[in-house]
Amino acid sequence: MYSLLRKALFMADPETAHGLALESLRIAHTTGATRLLCKSSDLPRKVMGLEFPNPVGMAAGMDKNGDYIDPLGGLGFGFIEIGTVTPRSQPGNPKPRVFRLEKSLAMINRLGFNNKGVDHLVQQARQRIFPGILGINIGKNFDTPIENAAEDYLLCMQKVYPVADYITVNISSPNTVGLRELQTASQLDLLLAVLQSKRQSLEQEYEKRVPLVVKVAPDLEDNEIPEIATIVRNCGFDGLIATNTTISRDEIKDGPQVREQGGLSGKPLQNRANEVLSAFRNCLPTDIALIGVGGVCSGEDAAEKMRLGADLIQFYTGFVYRGPQLVNDCLQSLGAHQGNA
């Protein structure tokens, strides 16, 4: 059924198609039709102290403003990560800024954190009925100088804290100038320490401990991985997401769109994302959670990430190509993987 809808959607440009797909999902959810798409699953996991109904999540960026939490939740996800959100609303980069590379099951985007601002997202999150886990991914405004970035993260963290189940600190989008500099050891250490200290005061204020995770790029040098792992551990963070999109084009050759600037996602990202995931698993203790994302287009791809040490998995681009069936395929495959473990 999705392949028919996909044919129609792919006639539109990727951003228009994105909006149409999510609005169709909202209608399907309102009429109860999503229940027909979603097979029930029972794969509960306790990760970061949270009870996940299952380990399959929607990655950040699909629902930047939290406008579609319940419709997406209706598809059977165990968790949904909304955002990236910034303190103030911002339009993002000029269009066109999203490109489909169909033959490669890939996308390139340079959206640049287009979003309606943190206050809107918090309102949406408050109204959710979705019973699964809600992650909120935070970033900085494009016009906040990088040396003041911590202020943006602190402000977002303070606002989302009461409504988030976990919070992701996004320092790895390639589409906000200078953002990835925050991954360098000295800057990362400062940023994560400040956020951890803020968490301690918020924990007392709200009498709840919200886990903090950091999302990294796949384009790290191999020697940066143990450094980042040490900082994540020392700063008391609860988890790490590997990975965001890549600026590399090594794994993809075809078509003029390959030359478009931005982050590449989907199948050509899978090998590098898996390498980075596995390298982090080797230098992080098992009580620090790993969320594997990048190139999951089948149930087997999801199981592979679990074999490499992920506690949870997410996808974005695979969902664009495969639709809601990908959730069921991952759940089925992870159920079998669990059975064999």
Ligand X SMILES: Cc1cc2nc3c(=O)[nH]c(=O)nc-3n(C[C@H](O)[C@H](O)[C@H](O)COP(=O)(O)O)c2cc1C
Residue number with CB closer to ligand X (164 or 293): 293
Distances in Å between the alpha carbon of 193 and those of 7, 72, 180, 228? 48, 33, 17, 13
Measured in whole angstroms, how far is the alpha carbon of residue 19 from the centre of its chain? 18
Which C-beta is closer to ligand X: that of 278 or that of 317?
317
Binding part of the chain for ligand X, among 72-80, 106-114, 198-206, 303-311 by CB under 6 A, reads 106-114
Q: Is 73 in the site for ligand X (CB under 6 A)?
A: no
* Greatest pairwise CA separation for the chain in angstroms: 54
Which x/- pattern, by CB under 6 A, does the window 208-237 give for ligand X? -------x----------------------
60 binds ligand X (CB under 6 A): yes
Q: What phi-psi label fits residue 298: left (phi over 0), alpha (psi between -120 and 50 degrees) or beta?
A: beta
How far is it, in rounded angstroms, from Cα 338 to Cα 233?
Answer: 27
To ligand X, the closest distance from the beta carbon of 293 in angstroms equals 5
Long-range contacts, stretch 308-312, CB < 8 angstroms, 24+ apart: 308/274, 308/277, 308/278, 308/281, 309/277, 309/278, 309/280, 309/281, 309/282, 310/277, 310/281, 311/45, 311/47, 311/55, 311/239, 312/45, 312/47, 312/52, 312/55, 312/56, 312/57, 312/78, 312/79
**Candidate ranges 65-73, 88-96, 150-158, 309-317; the one touching ligand X (CB under 6 A):** 309-317
Q: Is residue 199 at the binding interface for ligand X, with CB under 6 A as the rule? A: no
Task: Pull the structure tokens for residue 90.
Answer: 């911002």
Q: Which 141-170 residues touch ligand X, going by CB under 6 A? A: 170
- Residue with Cβ nearer ligand X (29 or 140): 140
Question: Among this protein's residues, is 173 annotated catalytic?
Answer: yes
Distance from the first to the final alpha carbon of the chain: 33
**Residue 186, CA atoms < 13 Å, CB-side half-sphere:** 1
> Does 111 participate in binding ligand X (rule CB under 6 A)?
yes
Nearer to ligand X among residue 269 and residue 284 (C-beta): 269
User: Site for ligand X (CB under 6 A): which residue of 167, 316, 323, 334?
Assistant: 316
**Could you say which of 172, 173, 265, 333 is catalytic?**
173
Round to whole Å and give the CA distance between 243 and 215: 7
Contact call for residue 280 and ligand X (CB under 6 A): no
Asked if 65 touches ligand X (CB under 6 A), the answer is no
Pick from 53, 78, 87, 294 the residue near ligand X by CB under 6 A.
Answer: 294
CB of 322 to ligand X, least distance (A): 11
The strand pairing partners of 167, in sequence order, are: 136, 212
CB of 299 to ligand X, least distance (A): 14
Q: Which amino acid is at 92?
A: G
> Applying CB under 6 A, which residues contact ligand X?
59-61, 64, 84, 98, 107, 109, 111, 137, 170, 173, 215, 244-245, 265-266, 269, 293-296, 315-318
Q: Which residues are catalytic?
A: 173
